[in-house]
Amino acid sequence: MEAIPQSVWRWKIAAYLFLAGTGAGALIVGILGDFTGYVVSAKISVALGVPLVALSTWFLILDLGHPEKFFTAVLHPSTSWISRGFLIVSALLISGGVLTILWIWPCGRILDGNQGLRMAVEIIVLGLAVATCVYTGILIGIVVSRPFWNNPLLPVLFLISAVSTGIGGLFFITPIVRATLGVSSSETARFLIHLEWADMILLLSEGITIYLYLTVVYSRAPEAAGLLLRGKLSGMFWGGFLGAGLFIPALIELFDWADQKTPPLLALLITGTLLLAGGFLMRLLILAAGIRSPLIVRARFRVRPGF
């Protein structure tokens, strides 16, 4: 009998994982951009990241069905990864909000004129952003009855994907900011070229990680892996995630990076859209492939005489 994708954790949880990861990834990209001197793009990326992380919590509340269930779930940090994740995300939102208010708007001059204080706040935000990316992989990886998710590579995969989709978000929003606000500079162009090179490495790393991930889980969850490789989810996996979400963006980035010129606005929009769509689809596929497996209890037994 053909395996059926699981339907308990679907698009709402995928949206939560995607938005939290992408927002945290955008904050990582922005802070690292500021560390290396690309202030304009860094501000755009930080201004994008904080609202995305905030929006992600709404999808978690929607999935739980009632706000009171959400608050019940987050009050047990000693036993619940949802609760621990809520604390991490809350701390990220508070520190990221402080960074946004004091560096971008409405009090941007405060941290513009105090680089030491800005770096201190950014280091805190950076640590919490990395923790958020990793946590989104731990959240589903601890579900024992879903062996497809019980993989130490899952947090690594989500971290790589989060930074890549964070770059994709910056690719997508930069042409809009340039067209509406007229924010453009040679500094921004250089940063985008560097990000294209960095994202090609991330996409290659993501492809290798997903290969190793499937290799690890295939022996103990062959039905789940088969859903992606040849089953009901194979079209979205091969054509959607690997093809449109990884290969095509990497190809566009390779051609743009080889020219060493300002990436065209249309190319940025297409690349950003594909990276974002691929990141969401990857999380949706990982969730859908997490089918339940029976719990196997390994215990000694004795054969009675006569049997």
Confidence of residue 7 (pLDDT cuts 50, 70, 90): confident
**Mean per-residue pLDDT for 81-91?**
85
pLDDT of residue 70: 59
- Gyration radius of the chain's alpha carbons: 21
pLDDT tens by residue, 170-192: 999 998 988 887 766 778 888 99
Is the Cβ–Cβ distance between 161 and 284 less than 8 Å?
A: no
pLDDT of residue 301: 41
Distances (CA, A) of 301 to 296, 297, 298, 305: 14, 11, 9, 13
**pLDDT higher than 60, residue 1:** no
What CATH number corresponds to the domain at position 121?
1.20.1630.10
| 3 domain residue, yes or no | no
What is the pTM (predicted TM-score) of this model?
Answer: 0.90
**pLDDT higher than 50, residue 232:** yes
**pLDDT higher than 90, residue 36:** yes
How many whole angstroms separate alpha carbon 296 and alpha carbon 144? 11
Nearest to 1 by CA among 219, 220, 227: 227
Q: What is the full DSSP assignment across 24-65?
A: HHHHHHHHHHHHTT-HHHHHHHHHHHHHHHHHHHHHHHHHHS
| 50 domain residue, yes or no | yes
| 4 domain residue, yes or no | no
pLDDT tens by residue, 216-225: 999 888 999 9
| 299 domain residue, yes or no | no
Confidence of residue 293 (pLDDT cuts 50, 70, 90): low
Q: Which residues constitute the domain of residue 268?
A: 11-288
Task: Write b or e for each residue in 155-174: b if 16 or more Cβ atoms lie within 10 A of its Cβ, otherwise e.
Answer: bbbbbbbbbbbbbbbbbbbb
- Give residue 231's Cα distance to chain centre: 25
| 124 domain residue, yes or no | yes
How many whole angstroms separate alpha carbon 229 and alpha carbon 18? 22
How many independent structural domains does the chain possess? 1
**pLDDT higher than 60, residue 299:** no
Confidence of residue 71 (pLDDT cuts 50, 70, 90): low
